[in-house]
Copies of this chain bind each other. A is one copy, B any other.
Amino acid sequence: MSTTQTNKIETIKATATKINEVDFDNLSFGAVFTDHLLECDFINGEWQQPVIKPYAPLLLDPSAKVFHYGQAIFEGMKAYKDTNNDIWLFRPDENYKRFNSSAVRMAMPEVPEFVFIEGLKQLLKLDEAWVKNGNESTMYIRPFMIATGAGVVANPSEDYKFMILLSPAKAYYSGEVKVLIAEHFSRAANGGIGAAKAAGNYAGQFYPTSLANKEGFQQVIWTDDATHTKLEEAGTMNVFFRINDTLLTAPVSERILDGITRKSLIDMAEKEGINVEVRPVLVSELVEASQKGTLKEIFGAGTAAVVNPIAGYSYKEVYYELPKIENSFASLLKDKLTSLQNKLTEDTFGWTVKV
């Protein structure tokens, strides 16, 4: 007898809302959560009834595998409210697919589409008062899955918990972003888990990033771990380089996250008639272009950071400042992307999905 009902979402409403305690003009990223969350457990080889319920702490055994062996994956998405107060998602199918690819790589069960997509829509509808409109206000969405099975033996968990949290947010980075190009540390191995949005990929970056912070750099641009000659991506952003009027970005690989912002920007840039080259970008090319004066821009691209211009980079103790230019590709593309996401312009790509 199975009690599984993954084609129906149960809802338990909070008795009161916390919304009045929140200062929406001064949100720090990822710190505030809405009244509800979605939860769905995987037990005995089956997904159980998904439930939307009041945001509350979790009870887990201290030997739960997530604590010991790092079986944990996540996604990062956003919801936008248009001027009619309709709520929109941006390419949610891409996040859903990537989430399940991450699950496979981490030996975790794939989440049913109904739980992920329909669950998210119902959660957003319930907490819709938390989604504000305006270009700078978005709802950051955090689907994630953790291994809840007990036992300190290094093999995959039997049980898992999938959840979706909602966190109203403004911009991810504030102020100027200067980056350090990695010469020793690295983020991902060949044949490793770099292409998965796995929890373990992030903690490993904190220490090298803290060393960079001490030298005045907000982020690290990772290079390939074998030779440190190829530019790969930043901690939570893919990276674009503009040399003369050509936009360059590294191809995705098993070391690099296949960013949804990245691929959207490539399509948008091409539509704008910009010449885009997706190919390995060498550190030496970048330095040479800086020296020649042909390096015009570097920017990061990601759901949280949107399009983030880089002010300068350091490599082998030398700091290279980027020129301040008018009509940058970064501002053009950021404007096109956020206008489309916020339904201020027509979505000719078919990327926006109504909740």
Contacts and interface: CB of A to CB of B under 8 A. Distances in A.
Copies of this chain held together in the complex: 2
Contact of A189 (B106, B147, B155, B186): B186
Interface stretch (A114-122, A200-208, A239-247, A286-294): A200-208
Contacts of A140: 152
Nearest to A153: B30
A70 B193 CA distance: 13
Nearest to A213: B155
Contacts of A153: 28-31, 172
A107 interface: yes
Nearest to A71: B203
A112 to B, nearest CB: 20
A104 interface: yes
A233 to B, nearest CB: 13
Given A63-B167, A186-B189, 20 more contacts: A29-B153, A37-B62, A68-B142, A69-B206, A70-B70, A70-B198, A71-B203, A71-B206, A72-B203, A104-B207, A107-B203, A107-B206, A142-B152, A154-B202, A154-B235, A154-B236, A156-B210, A188-B189, A189-B192, A225-B226
Interface of A: 28-31, 33, 37, 55, 57-63, 66-72, 74, 104-107, 140, 142, 144, 146-147, 150-156, 163, 165, 167, 172, 182, 184-193, 198-210, 225-226, 228, 235-236
